Amino acid sequence: MSTGYETLSYDDLVAEQATVQAETDRGRTLDEYDSLVFPDQQYCPLRGSAVSDFARPLTDGEGPVTLDAILRGMSEAQPGRPIRWVDMGGGRGLAMRQLRSAPDVDSRLEMTNVDLFDHGFAGIKPTRLERLEALAPGITGSESKPKLIVDNVETVILSEPADLITSIEGIQYLDDPLRTLSNWYNQLIDNGVMFVATDDTWPDWIRYKGERNNDEYRDTPIKHLLEELSENGINYAVTNYSDDESGGRPPLDLRSFRKLAIQKKPGTLLKVTQPVTKVELDRSNYKYVHYEASADGSSPIVEVVGPKSYTATLGATTLQAMN
Ligand SMILES: C[S@@+](CC[C@H](N)C(=O)[O-])C[C@H]1O[C@@H](n2cnc3c(N)ncnc32)[C@H](O)[C@@H]1O
């Protein structure tokens, strides 16, 4: 595929993100992750959302939908082996550290943070560290650190497929978000789940070539991706805001939302068909990414491959070929 656009080399990406991420916190706790993915679960009664509803059957109970409840539910459904949670762009790894500081965790979970940097606790004030320790004793200890893969989340190849992949406040920094989402999907186990969440809407930063950022924008690559998922019977949910107090669900707009959940349909892979043509950094250091539209507009920008043509065994070579 000819790209017409040269993506950053790994070294240039690291140099760019070293500057960009110095201005971000990179230190969300598990509770902060939960409220970003499953908004307004702290209310009584709980406020629902499409993404929370999607995730509830995966949890181990009737309480709030949380990542911990999902991981416990996954453990119950698959006893005898640890559940693999991979956090893409996990920053300081605090969410995983918080969970890991609980006693029984290592026997049931394998947690991996994939990030360009080993951020550690550099730059965190001692008072914040004290607050973190008060929240979860042991959270700052070296024994609570999750496994870290220092790599680009866009192209990382995991040694084993994941049960759960999360990306919290990370998608807006990527040069090729469609290829990245496909890479993550392709490395889920059958029926595994991925959650991509930010505080601001992110799909409207992903455009077709030549489209401007205005309220009149037309269809977007992410909308087309989701339509392709629907056509192939792949479960997903998107949420912008949680339900209102009376349980009313805000109207759905596939072009603009904050939270996305996708469940891997057994035997399927995603394949991007179009190259990136331009990436622009805005004042918040978020990336506007433009994709080439398909020549005649007929082929999907992300294709579901399989199940018939699914021959991959999740080996690195096959995955690289798919991506
Ligand atoms: C805003 S921080 C969010 C960190 C964490 N998820 C949180 O919410 O606290 C974004 C993280 O993504 C990482 N990151 C950005 N681009 C990346 C890439 N291409 N590959 C791996 N990590 C990346 C940054 O180093 C940073 O840790």
Tell me which residue has its CA closest to atom 3 in ligand 1.
Answer: 26
Q: What's the pLDDT score for residue 313?
A: 41
Q: What's the pLDDT score for residue 70?
A: 98
Tell me which residue has its CA closest to atom 18 in ligand 1.
Answer: 152
- Nearest by Cα to 232 from 270, 195, 204: 270
| Distance from chain centroid for Cα 158 | 15
Q: How far is the CA of 311 from the centre of ligand 1 (A)?
A: 32
Q: How far is the CA of 309 from the centre of ligand 1 (A)?
A: 34
Q: How far is the CA of 171 from the centre of ligand 1 (A)?
A: 8
Q: What's the pLDDT score for residue 293?
A: 81
Tell me which residue has its CA closest to atom 6 in ligand 1.
Answer: 90
Q: How far is the CA of 283 from the centre of ligand 1 (A)?
A: 17
With H, G, I as helix, E, B as strand and everything else as coil, classify residue 320: helix
Q: What's the pLDDT score for residue 322?
A: 44
Ligand 1 interacting residues, C-beta cut-off 6 A: 13, 17, 21, 24, 26-28, 89-91, 114-117, 119, 152-154, 168-170, 173-174
Tell me which residue has its CA closest to atom 13 in ligand 1.
Answer: 89
Burial of 57 (0-12, 13-18, 19+ CB in 10 A): exposed
Sheet holding 287-291, edge to edge: 206-208, 287-291, 276-281
Phi/psi at 272 (nearest 5 deg)? -85, 135
Tell me which residue has its CA closest to atom 14 in ligand 1.
Answer: 89
Q: How far is the CA of 299 from the centre of ligand 1 (A)?
A: 32
pLDDT tens digit at each of 323 positions of the chain: 444 578 899 999 999 999 999 988 899 999 999 999 999 887 888 889 999 999 999 999 888 999 999 999 999 999 999 999 999 999 999 999 999 988 889 889 999 999 999 999 998 999 999 999 999 999 999 999 999 999 999 999 999 999 999 999 999 999 999 999 999 999 999 999 999 999 999 998 999 887 655 444 568 899 999 999 999 999 999 999 999 989 999 998 898 999 999 999 999 999 999 999 999 999 889 999 999 986 666 678 999 997 545 444 444 444 444 44
With H, G, I as helix, E, B as strand and everything else as coil, classify residue 156: coil
What pairing do the DSSP bridges indicate for beta strands 162-168 and 188-197?
A: parallel
Q: What is the pTM of this model?
A: 0.93
Tell me which residue has its CA closest to atom 27 in ligand 1.
Answer: 91
